[in-house]
Amino acid sequence: MATVDQLAHAVLFPSLGRATVPRWISEPVAAGLGGFVLFGREAVSADQLRALTAQLRERAPGIHLAVDEEGGDVSRLEATGVISTPGNLALGRIDDLAVTRDCAVQLGLALRDLGVDWDFAPAVDVAVNPLTPNGVRCFGSDRKRVAEHAVAWVEGLQSTGVSACAKHFPGHGLSGTDAHLGTPNLELSRHELVDHYLDPFRAVVAAGVDSIMVSHPQVPAIDEWPASISRPIITGLLRDELGYDGVVITDALEMKGVARMADLATAAVRALQAGADALCLGSWSFGDDVRTCVEAITAAVAAGDLDQDALERSAERIRRIGAGPVTVSGAADVTTGPRLARRRSRSTDGRSCAARRSWSYAWSRASRRPRGAATVMSKGCWPSEVRRSNGSPCRSRPTTATA
């Protein structure tokens, strides 16, 4: 049986903070750290990322390595030159479930090749509020269609053996607040939540999604605490109401949405008490933060405030990440993004530059790019020949990332 110290480490997912293996990880990895979340600064090129994950797995073969790879504006792979695919808003506008599934498959194949076994995607929020800061990360505003695309994305990604993570439970789409900067407020009754607002999550649960990320919105009708540290929301809604028994991971605990209401140590313990299995600490959380959380968790167990058996169950769930059946293998099709960009460009001649920016597609000009490079569209317009609806040229240009 694992010790409390080992279990406390097993539920933690800090960042590395650099593109190479830092010295500080030796002790927590040896103690059974759950894994790391790799952010943009840890993914510089394909060769670098592949070498980094190999070195981490050499130290701990069972460690989990996660990224936020949604395609579009939220991508770790695009900057490495490996692959670039449409984000959720673009996929929702294309509205072809086979395309959504294929994009997720290609991302999964690329991630698996790079040594990543957990993808914090897709975002299954429904953009019911046009001012939601997550709008470009949503499949759309139609709850039924969002659910269908979410299922296609999950099935596609997990067919490659990479675990998906539906987020941001219970859903950011109603709020206009960015959880990085403040605590979103969802003014919904419990009946409204259960009856329709949670439908996309209900759909991915039925589809067998390996994990769900709980973010930091408050739901005053349910609890005064943010969802990530709320037992009525994590256990009451997600576990009991939706019947979910997979891995529940928090959104980054360094985010202002929860940090303004609980410091890291308090949030870590409260999240586990609430029913979370894994704690994403955040992009600026390293060795000292791991020690802070381990001390808080072990103290809570010693005081009887946290159940050691619950930690055992969480560690067991986490071990299942990346262990699903692989039904699709091979190399990723890096032409997926450019091909969809060309397809969409031919069918959107009348759209404005702002609408075109929302697609965040890959755009590869094969005749101009060097071998191994991917020319990508990131928050820019389409190529220079595209014009605004008033006829003036779009001045933005693609940026090129070379592996």
pLDDT of residue 178: 83
Section 367-387 average pLDDT: 29
Section 183-188 average pLDDT: 90
Tens digit of pLDDT for each residue in 388-399?
223 333 333 233
pLDDT of residue 346: 62
Section 201-214 average pLDDT: 98
Name the more confident of 19 and 173. 19
pLDDT of residue 345: 63
Q: What are phi and psi of 65, to 5 degrees?
A: -120, 120
Question: Is there a catalytic annotation at residue 172?
Answer: no
Q: Is the pLDDT of residue 18 over 60?
A: yes
pLDDT of residue 33: 98
Predicted TM-score (pTM) of this structure: 0.86
Q: How confident is the model at residue 256 (pLDDT cuts 50, 70, 90)?
A: very high
Alpha-carbon distance of 196 to 185, in angstroms, equals 17
Q: Is the pLDDT of residue 84 over 70?
A: yes
Q: Are 99 and 340 in contact (CB under 8 A)?
A: yes
Section 256-265 average pLDDT: 96
pLDDT of residue 177: 83
> Which residue is catalytic, options 95, 180, 199, 333?
180
pLDDT of residue 135: 86
**Pick from 224-238, 240-254, 369-383: least confident:** 369-383
pLDDT of residue 279: 98
**What mean pLDDT value characterizes the chain?**
87
pLDDT of residue 393: 32
Tens digit of pLDDT for each residue in 120-173?
999 999 999 988 888 899 999 999 999 999 999 999 999 999 999 999 999 988
Name the more confident of 358 and 246. 246
Alpha-carbon distance of 346 to 338, in angstroms, equals 12
pLDDT of residue 352: 42
Q: How confident is the model at residue 344 (pLDDT cuts 50, 70, 90)?
A: low
pLDDT of residue 347: 56
Other beta carbons less than 10 A from residue 184's beta carbon:
26
Residue 28 tokens read as: 């927590």
Question: Is there a catalytic annotation at residue 196?
Answer: no
Section 64-83 average pLDDT: 94
Helix then strand then coil, in percent of the chain rounded to 5, is 40, 10, 45
Q: Is the pLDDT of residue 249 over 60?
A: yes
pLDDT of residue 348: 53
Residue among 396, 379, 386, 377 at smallest CA distance from 352: 386
Tens digit of pLDDT for each residue in 29-57?
999 999 999 999 999 999 999 999 999 99
Name the more confident of 68 and 380. 68
Section 306-315 average pLDDT: 98
Section 239-261 average pLDDT: 97
Alpha-carbon distance of 82 to 110, in angstroms, equals 7
Alpha-carbon distance of 79 to 82, in angstroms, equals 8
Q: Is the pLDDT of residue 360 over 80?
A: no
> Which residue is catalytic, options 102, 125, 251, 277?
251
